């Protein structure tokens, strides 16, 4: 007799980092295990998110504590969130995400009236690009900052990430 797989506990994502002043939003897929443990976006030390944004913005976000990073990001009028609010997943790989529940993107129109561009950090997040483009936003698919996405160098990723501010 075949045993049923043990159900995984549901995981909850993080609240958005938004303000009424943002013109750009970066959406990831869902926090990895290290990020969930630390309760911080992009907490894995090998994730290139903060180094990439530091270069793009010409502002050293890496050396700041987490709360200061978020405030500095908002000062550049850039918000941060994920496309998934809740899911099941073993480990940190996006490919293992199951039973994904998307975030409520309708709130963006109400809470971020100046928002024009939505950037997607990786392909799983990018699967939501058509939905947000249909809502009237300019969209940009970014190569993933994840350490699991090593097929592109930092410089190759940076060349696309520079388009965040264009």
pLDDT single digits (tens) 10-26: 999 999 999 999 999 99
| Residue 92: pLDDT band with limits 50, 70, 90 | confident
* Residue 110 confidence (pLDDT) above 80: yes
From the CB of residue 153, how many other CB atoms can be counted at a distance below 10 Å? 9
Question: Does residue 80 register a pLDDT over 80?
Answer: yes
- Is residue 48 scored above 70 in pLDDT? yes
The pLDDT of residue 82 is 97
Please answer whether residues 54 and 42 qualify as being in contact, where contact means their C-beta atoms are separated by less than 8 angstroms: no
Q: Are 44 and 138 in contact (CB under 8 A)?
A: no
What pTM does this model have?
0.93
The pLDDT of residue 125 is 96
More confident residue, 90 or 76: 76
pLDDT at 95: 82
Q: Which residue has the higher pLDDT, 27 or 4?
A: 27
CB atoms within 10 A of CB 73: 24
Q: Which helix (H) or strand (E) holds 73?
A: helix 66-75
pLDDT in tens, 98-109: 999 999 999 999
Just list the catalytic residues. 47
pLDDT over 90 at 1, yes or no: no
Tell me if 144 sits within 8 A of 54, measured CB to CB.
no
Structure tokens at 4: 């049923």
How many residues does the structure list for the chain?
A: 166
């Amino acid at each position: 007799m075949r045993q049923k797989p043990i159900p995984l506990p549901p995981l909850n994502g993080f609240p958005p980092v938004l303000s009424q002043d943002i013109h750009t939003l970066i959406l990831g897929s869902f926090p990895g295990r290290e990020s969930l443990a630390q309760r911080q976006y992009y907490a894995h030390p090998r994730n290139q998110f903060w180094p990439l944004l530091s270069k793009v913005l010409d502002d050293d976000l890496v050396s700041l504590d987490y709360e200061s990073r978020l405030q500095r990001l908002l000062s550049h009028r850039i918000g941060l969130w994920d496309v998934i609010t809740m899911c099941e997943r073993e480990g940190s790989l996006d490919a293992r995400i199951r039973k994904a529940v998307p975030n409520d993107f309708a709130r963006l129109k109400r809470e971020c009236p100046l928002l024009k561009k939505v950037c997607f950090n990786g392909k799983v997040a990018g699967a939501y690009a058509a939905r947000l483009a249909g809502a009237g936003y300019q969209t940009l698919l970014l190569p993933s900052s994840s350490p699991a996405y090593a097929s592109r160098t930092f410089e190759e990723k940076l060349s696309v990430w520079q388009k965040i501010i264009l």
